[in-house]
Structure 1
Amino acid sequence: MLRSIRNILLVFLFILAFYLLKILSSLLLPLVFAMLVVIMYQPLMLFLRKYKFPTAVIVPIIATMTILIILFIVNIFIGTIGNFASQSNFLASQFIKKVESIILQIEVLTNHRLNLDNITEYLLGFFNSGSITRAVSSLAAGLGNFGRSFFMFSLYFVILLSSMTNYEEYIRYVVKDNKQLIKEIQGLQRSVSTYMTIKIIVSASTGFIAGMVCMLFGLKFALIFGFLTFLLNFIPSIGSIIATIPPVLMAIIQFDTFHRAIAVLLILFFIQMTIGNFLEPKIMGDRLLLNTVTVIFGLVFWGIIWGIPGMLLSVPLMVILKLIFGYSDSLSVLARIMGSHRKTS
């Protein structure tokens, strides 16, 4: 009887937690981003404190540098999006011409007449003035939301960065037998920091290489394609696939023949497969790897709760959960269930 009541309460607790995570997303998402960035900076903070750099100097420098880098990247992204929007009508007309050319070739090969007018009209529906206006309005609303989220992120980031330097003293004050707890927290921090650092470096490298490939082929908006590749590589499984679509579409629009578009597709696909399936697992190590079921579950779960930002954060959050479970004897079996059996040596 007591066990049944406990199980029912756990179900209600899970539903309540799910509900709170969803309705408080505007407050929790910037907090999670800030926590991950602060944890990533912990090795640097410890290194500087080891050489007696004062916290009053370290925190403002790191906080200012981080915020300025984010604003610089966002400014480039907004400028490129604006340039893209100004050329949207021309790109739409070029795209429709390419589609018409493809349809005509299919008709010749199959000797079957396709309804070209209906297809063209359907495609034009995506690029008419109303659609462009709605897209610009959505972008403006998104920038407004980003402004509020960025303010909350900056506030959380500065507070956490300042307080995390003294967390060991706080634990010693609160908990009497604190040595093991501090050791476990330090191990968790190192693991999360390692994962975040590797993931950012690998994603940035992938984005840089993809951007350089686009530049070498002479694609317009090569910078934005590289940046999108960097961001989308944080989304497991589908992110790398989605990242190849925009540059390939641009290659189809921009080039007279399809050979160069196919070359762009094959090269970008090869880059994603090589880095994602061979290089990244080798660097990560077994302790930070998740199995496919866990990755898909995390993608769906956090995507339902927080949308695209949740999908971007799904793997880091699931890695953190796996590491936390691994430090608990009673929950270590969950860590093994979530983990990957793939060997990296």
Structure 2
Amino acid sequence: MNERKTTNILLLVIVIPLIFYLLKTLSFILIPLTASLFIALLFLPLMRWLTKRKIPNFISIILVLLIFVGAMLVGGEIIKLASKEIIQTQDAFFTKAQIKLTDLVYAIEDFLGVKYMNDGNLLNIFINKDDFGKNFSSTLGLIGNTVTMLLMTAFFVVLWLAESLNFYNVLSGTIFKQKYASVKTFMKIENDLITFVKVKFLVSAFTGLGFGLACYFFNVSFPIFWGLFAFLLNFIQMIGSVVSVVILALFAFVELDPTSTLLFFIITITLVQVLFGSILEPILMGKSFSINVIAILVSLMLWGYIWGVPGLIMSIPITVFLKIIFEQFPQTKLFSTLLSGNSGQIHFSKLKK
């Protein structure tokens, strides 16, 4: 008995690093596959609705693809607008930045009694103004490299919806042997993940809109870019909202009066984040199940290390999926309990109908 237990432990020690290695090595295929699963779950209710109205399956899939492509085109147009906005207004921004940073350094020099700046052009020490637009365009060019992954994701979405890849069959054929258990678990995974994605998208959209409007009314440069930045970063649970507020506040320091306007701006974007992230999101998510804050941080670090930014975005849906699976077996309920916890929790649940 002891020898068997020792063997199992040794196998576990070998298998876990191997799994992590495979997850990282095969990320080029696993990232779009996982993302497509979550996207397909979102479209399942629509597919069922179309099926009830006796619309052929291939027409339903084409409709879903059109929606998917339309969303990508809208996203691409927003990115183009943000790019044009930065390129067109970079000269005005650099002028303001030069004046503000120069005044700040002179004040520090007077206070410390040292001389640091010789040519009076502090900004060029950190940023090459002439190359700023080119570098930003290059950064946007990197976004174009994600087209292949998006196409792969769309391909996998079609496979899921056409049932060439069937998530329910995978569950029933691997993890669950009883049909009732697999159906029940599948429905819970579907409902909870759909709720999470819908609420997160809605909250992130309102947050991005709030940031963009705040930048516009306070005359902070690049409002479209900062709105898009806040929208995307808000998908990273917990840390994304904090990072977006801090970075935008530091950026706004260059353009706004630090004695009054800057303070009001920081309060505004903080209130936007608190209103949508700390008040609206928990209300919409509800309290039917929860994830411990420590589990969220560990999940962010783990999946962020394995899959980078996509891993950070998908870490919470993956954790929710694992938690639901762990709940179904007595042997793994301990792990589910550890993920849930009783303190410092972030709650997710079904939307009230």
> TM-score of the superposition, structure 2-length normalised?
0.84
- Deviation digits for residues 89-144 of structure 1 (CA, Å, limit 9, x no counterpart): 55344323212222334455xx322444189777524312567655544442x234
Name the structure 2 match of 1:98: 100
| 1:304, distance to aligned residue in structure 2 (A) | 0.7
Unaligned runs of 5+ in 1: none
Moved more, 75-84 or 111-120: 111-120
Matches within 5 A, 1:1-12: 1-12=3-14
- Letter matched to residue 143 of structure 2: L
Q: 1:22 to 1:251 in 2, by over 3 A?
A: same
Using the alignment, how far apart are the partners of 1:119 and 1:49 within structure 2?
71
| 1:311, distance to aligned residue in structure 2 (A) | 1.2
Name the structure 1 match of 2:272: 271
Name the structure 2 match of 1:66: 68
Q: 1:335 to 1:144 in 2, by over 3 A?
A: same
> TM-score of the superposition, structure 1-length normalised?
0.86
- Deviation digits for residues 169-228 of structure 1 (CA, Å, limit 9, x no counterpart): 898999984233222212221111111111111211222222222222233321221121
User: Is the Cα contact below 8 Å between 1:251 and 1:260 reproduced in 2?
Assistant: no
Name the structure 1 match of 2:34: 32
- Letter matched to residue 17 of structure 2: I
- Letter matched to residue 310 of structure 1: G
Matches within 5 A, 1:72-151: 72-85=74-87, 87-88=89-90, 90-107=92-109, 111-117=111-117, 123-128=123-128, 129=130, 136-140=137-141, 142-151=142-151
Using the alignment, how far apart are the partners of 2:165 and 2:29 within structure 1?
23
Name the structure 1 match of 2:303: 302
- Letter matched to residue 73 of structure 1: G
Using the alignment, how far apart are the partners of 1:171 and 1:262 within structure 2?
52
| 1:56, distance to aligned residue in structure 2 (A) | 2.4
1:202 alignment partner, SS class:
helix
| 1:42, distance to aligned residue in structure 2 (A) | 2.0
Using the alignment, how far apart are the partners of 1:228 and 1:71 within structure 2?
17
Using the alignment, how far apart are the partners of 2:149 and 2:5 within structure 1?
42
User: Is the Cα contact below 8 Å between 2:109 and 2:116 reproduced in 1?
Assistant: no
| 1:310, distance to aligned residue in structure 2 (A) | 1.2
User: Is the Cα contact below 8 Å between 2:102 and 2:122 reproduced in 1?
Assistant: no
Q: 1:283 to 1:297 in 2, by over 3 A?
A: same
Using the alignment, how far apart are the partners of 2:20 and 2:170 within structure 1?
30
| 1:85, distance to aligned residue in structure 2 (A) | 4.1
- Deviation digits for residues 14-34 of structure 1 (CA, Å, limit 9, x no counterpart): 111111111111211112211
Q: 1:172 to 1:130 in 2, by over 3 A?
A: closer
Matches within 5 A, 1:257-296: 258-296=259-297
| 1:336, distance to aligned residue in structure 2 (A) | 1.8
- Letter matched to residue 321 of structure 1: L
Number of aligned positions between the proteins: 342
| 1:73, distance to aligned residue in structure 2 (A) | 0.9
Moved more, 183-192 or 282-291: 282-291
- Letter matched to residue 100 of structure 1: T
Name the structure 1 match of 2:156: 156
1:241 lines up with 2:246 in the alignment: no
| 1:64, distance to aligned residue in structure 2 (A) | 0.9
- Letter matched to residue 259 of structure 1: S
Name the structure 1 match of 2:201: 200
2:254 alignment partner, SS class:
helix
- Select the structure that is richer in helix: 1
Using the alignment, how far apart are the partners of 2:118 and 2:20 within structure 1?
44
2:112 alignment partner, SS class:
coil
Q: 1:289 to 1:105 in 2, by over 3 A?
A: farther
User: Is the Cα contact below 8 Å between 1:234 and 1:315 reproduced in 2?
Assistant: no
Using the alignment, how far apart are the partners of 2:173 and 2:258 within structure 1?
70
Using the alignment, how far apart are the partners of 2:189 and 2:147 within structure 1?
31
1:290 alignment partner, SS class:
strand
Name the structure 2 match of 1:329: 330
Identity %: 26
Q: 1:323 to 1:132 in 2, by over 3 A?
A: same
Using the alignment, how far apart are the partners of 1:172 and 1:271 within structure 2?
44
Name the structure 2 match of 1:49: 51
2:331 alignment partner, SS class:
coil
Q: 1:10 to 1:167 in 2, by over 3 A?
A: closer
